[in-house]
Amino acid sequence: MRTLGVPGRSAAVLLAGAFGVFSPLSALAQTSSTANEPWTPPPVNVGATPNDGGGHQTQFPYTQKTKCVTRDLDNNIVPREKPWGQQYLRIEEAQKLAVASRGSAGGGMRIAVIDTGVTQHPYFRFGVESGGDYVNPPDNGLQDCDGHGTEVAGIIAANTPPDIGFKGVAPDAKIVSIRQSSQDYGPPDQQAGGGGQSGGDNGGSREQGQGAGNTQTLAEAVVRAANLGVNVINMSVDNCRPADGTINSGEQQLQAAIHYAVDVKDVVVVAAAGNTSQTCKQNDQPDPNKPQSIVSPPWFADDVLSVAAIDESGGVAQFSVHGPWVSVAAPGTKITSLDPSTGSSALANQVVENGQLQDIQGTSFASPYVAGLAALVRAQFPKLNAHQVMHRIEATAQHPGAPGGRDDYIGYGVINPVAALTAVVPSEEGIPPATAERLPSGLPPAAYKNWTPMIVALVGTGGGLLVLLVTLFVVHTIRRNRTA
């Protein structure tokens, strides 16, 4: 059994990291159609909305290839400092405002975490509700072999003791876990897809074709969460592929499922923007509107809050995928969250990858900051619908210095939880948005120049000089004659 931890390090260590790319659809589902614009997806095909399968699927039987993450019992030191991202966003100040206004920080909100499962952890105030399991149905989404979904859920809703600095964004909310993907599972004839998360494994993020989960099961999981009546959905799993102007059937189902969740079931949908890798090239091409990589679900920007990652400098993290679909940004480096090991009551802030200790990072962990904020906003403003909540979060972000207040790196900017809970958003008050005012572009005509005053002044000056010269000549002549 894998154990994690390094003696002498003042941190809890876990198996996780920048999870993000899952296997594509099977060949039978790879039909394509052409999109209209270089990056804009085609209109939603509501007829492609899948059913939720009752919270599990039977088309892709998976078996466990790698044992689940466990905690190194020799390393029981708990990191107690406040993570930089939590301080940067002033999370605790926002929570105090929420409690003063509503009596809780996200109370009554249910957030679906569609991920690798979520382990029951004592720091979840209301435990973890089972929403479904598309990997191994008997586990009911309550086992996190990969050690990823629990970390994501912890950033959203961990309710830690006062002596621990790390806090979840909405600690009074309830987590609903739907396991949709896993690198530790795969088809019966597939080798272990552990994704390189511990010594002896392959290394790197999951390769295309490895592990369990695809866009079709992700679409089903979204519909499942919506049907369960959650308030917010967080998806820290992405599918990245080359941009070729097409959309496959799995993506069509995912687009329709998200549209169903937002427009029919009034759910706020949040997704990680994605991490660069060998199979997911950065969108740094000359024309930003013609990306070379497409990332789903962020691609469906009309209905998704897509979250980029920033680092400790406040700038966009190097691994965060750029794109016209990026909505906002949040901290995604040096992450602290809950230890996903079964039976653990500890925290974690490092990952073992390729046998090396690394900080936990990725857009996977920026997304739950926004999902937690969405829960706070929904609790604070219960009359706002899903699109209005998304707009409030975008409108109150710290906008970049770019035309229109957004760019392809951090979208409308880094989220501002305090502003999101307190600011007046004009559209909510019926105030029309500000419009650009056209200013005169030409210079006014030159004024007519009256030269008379200048002529009079010059003539007067010249006359005065002439009188002065005559006077000096006369005086000089008189003095010369007297001397003679």
The set of catalytic residues is: 115, 148, 364
The one-letter amino acid at 475: V
| Cα distances (Å, whole numbers) of residue 386 to 130, 206, 270, 381, 390 | 23, 32, 11, 11, 6
Structure tokens at 186: 């795969």
Centroid of chain to Cα 235: 10
User: DSSP of 265-323, one letter per residue?
Assistant: T--EEEEE--B-BTTB----SS-TTS-SEEEETTT-TTS-EEEEEE-TTSSBPTTBPP-
Residue 424: partners with Cβ closer than 8 Å, 6 or more residues away: none
CA 58 remoteness from chain centre? 32
Beta strands in 361-473 (DSSP E): none
Contact 301, 321 (CB under 8 A): no
Task: Give the span between the Cα atoms of 413 and 401, in whole angstroms.
Answer: 9
- Decide if 235 contacts 218 (C-beta within 8 A): yes
Nearest Cα to Cα of residue 225 among 314, 125, 114 = 114
- Do residues 411 and 395 touch, judged by C-beta distance below 8 A? no
